[in-house]
């Protein structure tokens, strides 16, 4: 120890975080206040104002079409959602749903372009791969700390931490999907004189769609798995009910809230999977 | 001006490819270069040109560099050395934009394994080339539909590629290339994935289409039969090098070296050789000038049992046999007219060996090769057998 003084890595990271915080203050303030307000309006003024029966009906109809006009998913959706409402967890469900939606949307909006960039350049792939590994293996709790530093407590830091945790699969699968498009098809596109953008939008992305959707499905699931963790920094929703139950050692209410998360997970998973069909697939 | 003009074109794969070109100058083989430098010679100083409306076939064994060569012609890969001129424009000197224009307007490629876009319908596949030129939907659909009808797929336009058979998919590939109405078609083993029957059908179809389209076609194949069927000229490749260029007949009859000869050996000669190749110069007598005595004298000298009779302009009149002629000499006749026989088997110069083989059985005298009634040559049974077995191909003047 004596020869090598401790390297002040922790201090550096703290300093860097503070630097970022200072430098991007206007953006962080905007996100915390305006974006935070918007999330709140979305959850409390819109979603929660829809009558429960109407909400269930709409989701059931969507489930009917998403699952190719079968009734299994419809039945599960109706029973599951009704159960959550019956347990008095409807508002929590709506908050969780909001968190997942925003975190997933942002992850996809960031993740797909990065995936494309990665697919188009070997150098970018070499740089991003270890970064993605790092993002996914770092314990999710750690992200809560800069999230709080940047955004205080509430929904916004929850979304922020979820985005960091949930984005990698979308990036990876987008990259993979595009690279998987056979070389001969890319050549075929080239041989007809496509521009880079035409090749991307008319051949590579449509053909990678299935793989990209699988990545998005994982992203949504990861975002959902952040719900409980994010509730530790004040994100409202089912996660909070779990934490409360934990603190009070109430097994029953803890599990009921857990069921709510599972039900939401299954519904979202089936929805995103069923959207995952590609033109020209053989049935 | 040739449509495609390729000069000293080389492609060497791997790092420091330029360095390896000096070994090409020294005449090292592909293997030696691979051993020395780790670079693979794809194409080695290829030079050829394709004229407008010509079907130019490039053939060679697997790995001989055919695909590499065709991909150099539309610059899907960059050459290490040499030039490709399309309509007099140097492809290597073009920026991306003009290269795209050339690919859009002048060159279309048909791929070995079809390379259809599985997420697009047949119609959407066929219109792809026009779609990326931003031609409006109605017009490009119309053109795509037309070219699909041309290849006989008008009824399948809303299917997906996965729903069609291999032969049908190949036609879609062809229709997709044709929809652009390019000057040049590049076809990389376009028919190799098809089974023999469909393949032959596609070859016929291509030839038929070519009658009306008059495209310039660069056709790649590893099958000599296919090359001989459809090629106006054929280039043979070995280890990246072009070892011979010629018409199908030149290749067959005068193989440039052992390699070409090996290739040619397996060909079913009966399909490519015609009467012209195996006929010999006939001994004849002139019906006006020669009487039985002269005929008998000639037959004795040549050791013939019969001889063809023509007029002064070599119009075929018939033949006489040795027996009849001696009889006529005894009877002091001075004319061949009375003993002239006319049960002749006649073929023309381009009659295939197959047909000749079938008719020569019935012939008592050598088969006559005629054109507009004039005798051009005769075919003896031995020559047919020899040609079919491939042991000896006799040229026009060799035997007489
Ligand atoms: N991308 C590449 N990188 C390195 N070597 C290559 C590459 N493409 C082709 N080659 C080599 O170049 C040579 C010619 O290959 P090419 O594909 O042109 O042959 P081919 O005549 O088309 O064969 P086939 O009939 O099997 O299609 C081969 O030795 C091959 O290994
Ligand atoms: Mg090939």
**pLDDT above 70: residue B166:** yes
Q: Which residue has the tokens 């005929």?
A: B295
Beta bridge partners of B378: B280, B368
| B285 and B368 part of one domain | yes
**pLDDT for position B9:** 95
* Pocket residue to mutate for ligand 1, from B12, B67, B227, most atoms within 8 A of Cβ: B67
Do residues B298 and B375 share a domain?
yes
In this structure, are B161 and B256 located in the same domain?
yes
Same domain, B293 and B354: yes
Query: Of B220, B243, B268, which residue constitutes the final position of a domain?
Result: B268
- Encode pLDDT of B217-251 as tens digits: 999 998 888 888 899 999 999 999 999 999 887 88
Q: Measured between alpha carbons, how far is B298 from B304 in angstroms, rounded to an integer? A: 8
Flag whether pLDDT at A5 surpasses 60: yes
Place of tokens 């049960």: B343
Across all residues in chain B, what is the average pLDDT? 87
Specify whether B117 is located in the same domain as B258. Answer: yes
Stretch A226-234: mean pLDDT: 90
CA of B114 to the centre of ligand 2 (A): 13
What is the domain count for chain B? Answer: 2
For chain A, the structural domain boundaries read 12-49+87-274
**Which pLDDT score, from 0 to 100, does residue B391 have?**
47
| C-alpha distance from A210 to closest chain B C-alpha (Å) | 11
Residue nearest to atom 3 of ligand 1 (CA): B13
Does B334 lie in the same domain as B231? Answer: no
Query: Could you read off the pLDDT of A67-95 as tens digits, one per residue?
Result: 888 899 999 999 999 999 999 999 999 99
- Please, which residues have CB within 8 angstroms of residue B12's CB and are 6 or more apart in sequence? B20, B21, B24, B33, B39, B40, B41, B42, B80
Same domain? For B221 and B361 the reply is no
| CATH class of the A12-49+87-274 domain in this structure | mainly alpha
Q: Decide if B3 is inside a domain.
A: no
What CATH number did the domain enclosing B160 receive? 3.40.50.300
Residue B256 sits at φ, ψ, to 5 deg, of: -70, -30
CB B172 within 8 A of CB B161: yes
Torsion of CA A198, A204, A208, A212, to 10 degrees: -60
pLDDT in tens, B80-103: 999 999 999 999 899 999 999 999
Burial B322-351 (b: 16+ CB within 10 A, else e): eebbeebbeeebeebeebeeeebbebeeeb
Chain B residues near any Cβ of chain A (below 8 Å): 71, 74, 76, 99-104, 107-109, 111, 113, 115, 117-121, 128-129, 131-133, 160-163, 180, 186
Residue A282 has pLDDT above 60, yes or no: no
pLDDT reading at B268 higher than 80? no
Least confident among A91-95, A125-129, A247-251, B382-386: B382-386
Rounded to the nearest angstrom, the minimum Cα separation between A25 and chain B is 44
Q: How confident is the model at residue B392 (pLDDT cuts 50, 70, 90)?
A: very low
When pLDDT is cut at 50, 70 and 90, the band that residue B399 belongs to is very low
Distance, first Cα to last Cα, chain B: 42
Q: Whose CA is nearest to atom 28 of ligand 1?
A: B63
The residues in A 175-194 lying below 8 A from B, measured between CB atoms, are 182, 184-185, 187-194
For residue B129, give the chain A residue with the closest CA: A192
Q: d(Cα B184, Cα B55) in Å, to the nearest integer?
A: 10
CATH number of the domain that B298 lies in? 3.10.580.10
In a domain? residue B90:
no
Whether B306 contacts B344, CB under 8 Å? no
Residues B257 and B280 occupy one common structural domain: no
Measured CA to CA, the distance from residue A248 to residue A267 in angstroms comes to 29
The verdict on residue B6 lying in a domain is no
Mean pLDDT value of segment B6-28: 88
Please give the average per-residue pLDDT across A192-200, as a whole number. Answer: 95
Q: Are residues B103 and B59 in the same domain?
A: yes
Assess whether B298 and B260 both reside in one domain. Answer: no
Among B215, B249, B268, identify where a domain stops.
Answer: B268
Locate the chain A residue with the closest alpha carbon to B74. Answer: A191
Q: Is A197 on the interface with B (CB under 8 A)?
A: no
Q: Within this chain, do residues B142 and B70 fall inside the same structural domain, yes or no? A: yes
Q: Does residue B350 form part of some domain? A: yes
Distance from Cα B24 to the centre of ligand 1, integer Å:
17
- A63 contact partners, CB below 8 Å, separation of at least 6: A73, A74, A77, A267, A270, A271
- Considering the domain architecture, whether residues B101 and B169 belong to the same structural domain is answered as yes
Does A203 touch chain B if contact means CB atoms closer than 8 Å?
yes
Ligand showing the shortest atom-to-Cα distance for residue B239:
1
Residue nearest ligand 1's atom 14 by CA? B65
The widest CA-to-CA distance across chain B, in whole angstroms, is 90
Q: Which domain holds residue B212?
A: 53-80+95-268
Please indicate, yes or no, if residue B1 is contained in any of the structural domains.
no
Q: Residue B28's pLDDT band (boundaries 50, 70, 90)?
A: confident
């Amino acid at each position: 120890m004596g020869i090598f003084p401790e390297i002040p890595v922790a201090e550096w990271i703290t300093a860097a975080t503070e630097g970022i915080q200072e430098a991007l203050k206007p953006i962080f303030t905007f996100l915390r206040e305006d974006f935070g307000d918007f999330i709140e309006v979305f959850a409390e003024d819109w979603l929660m104002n829809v009558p429960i029966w109407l909400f269930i009906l709409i989701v059931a109809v969507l489930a009917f079409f998403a699952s190719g006009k079968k009734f299994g998913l419809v039945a599960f959706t109706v029973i599951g959602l009704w159960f959550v409402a019956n347990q008095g967890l409807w508002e929590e469900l709506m908050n969780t749903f909001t968190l997942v939606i925003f975190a997933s949307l942002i992850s996809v909006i960031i993740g797909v372009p990065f995936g494309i960039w990665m697919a188009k350049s070997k150098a970018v792939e070499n740089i991003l791969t270890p970064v993605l590994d790092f993002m996914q293996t770092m314990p999710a709790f750690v992200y809560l700390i800069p999230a709080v530093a940047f955004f205080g407590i509430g929904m916004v830091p929850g979304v922020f931490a979820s985005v960091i945790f949930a984005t990698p699969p979308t990036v990876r699968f987008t990259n993979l999907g595009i690279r998987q498009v056979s070389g001969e098809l890319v050549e075929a596109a080239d041989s007809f004189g496509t521009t880079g953008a035409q090749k991307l939008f008319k051949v590579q992305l449509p053909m990678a769609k299935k793989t990209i959707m699988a990545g998005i499905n994982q992203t949504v699931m990861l975002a959902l798995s952040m719900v409980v963790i994010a509730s530790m920094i004040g994100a409202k929703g089912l996660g909070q009910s779990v934490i409360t139950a934990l603190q009070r050692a109430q097994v029953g209410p803890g599990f009921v809230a857990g069921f709510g998360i599972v039900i939401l997970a299954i519904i979202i998973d089936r929805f995103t999977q069923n959207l995952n069909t590609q033109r020209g697939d053989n049935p | 001006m040739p449509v495609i003009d390729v000069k000293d074109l080389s492609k060497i794969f791997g790092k420091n490819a330029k360095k390896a070109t000096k070994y090409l100058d020294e005449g090292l083989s592909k293997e030696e270069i691979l051993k020395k430098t780790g670079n693979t010679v794809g194409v080695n100083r290829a030079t050829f040109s394709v004229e407008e409306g010509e079907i130019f076939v490039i053939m060679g064994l697997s790995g001989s560099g055919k695909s590499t060569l065709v991909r150099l012609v539309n610059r899907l890969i960059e050459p290490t050395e040499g030039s490709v001129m399309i309509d007099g424009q140097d492809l290597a000197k073009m920026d991306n934009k003009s290269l795209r224009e050339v690919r859009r307007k002048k060159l279309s490629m048909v791929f070995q394994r079809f390379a259809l876009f599985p997420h697009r319908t047949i119609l959407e596949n066929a219109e792809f080339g026009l779609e990326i030129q931003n031609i409006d939907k109605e017009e490009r659909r119309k053109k795509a539909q037309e070219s699909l009808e041309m290849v006989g797929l008008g009824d399948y336009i809303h299917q997906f590629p996965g729903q069609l058979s291999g032969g049908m998919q190949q036609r879609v590939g062809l229709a997709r290339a044709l929809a652009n109405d390019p000057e040049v078609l590049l076809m990389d083993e376009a028919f190799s994935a098809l089974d023999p029957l469909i393949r032959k059908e596609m070859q016929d179809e291509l030839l038929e289409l070519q009658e009306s389209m008059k495209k310039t076609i660069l056709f790649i194949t590893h099958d000599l039969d296919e090359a001989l069927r459809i090629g106006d000229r054929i280039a043979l490749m070995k280890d990246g090098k072009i070892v011979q260029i010629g018409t199908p007949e030149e290749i067959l009859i005068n193989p440039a070296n052992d390699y070409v000869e090996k290739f040619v050996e397996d060909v079913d000669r009966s399909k490519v050789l015609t009467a012209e190749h195996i006929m010999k110069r006939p001994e004849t007598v002139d019906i006006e000038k020669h009487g039985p005595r002269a005929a008998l004298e000639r037959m004795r000298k040549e050791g013939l049992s019969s001889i063809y009779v023509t007029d002064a302009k070599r119009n075929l009149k018939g033949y006489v046999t040795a027996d009849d002629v001696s009889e006529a000499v005894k009877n002091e006749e001075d004319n061949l007219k009375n003993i002239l026989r006319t049960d002749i088997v006649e073929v023309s110069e381009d009659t295939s060996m197959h047909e000749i083989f079938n008719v020569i059985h019935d012939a008592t005298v050598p088969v006559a090769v005629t054109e507009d009634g004039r005798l051009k040559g005769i075919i003896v049974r031995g020559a047919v057998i020899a040609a079919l077995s491939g042991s000896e191909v006799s040229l026009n003047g060799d035997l007489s």
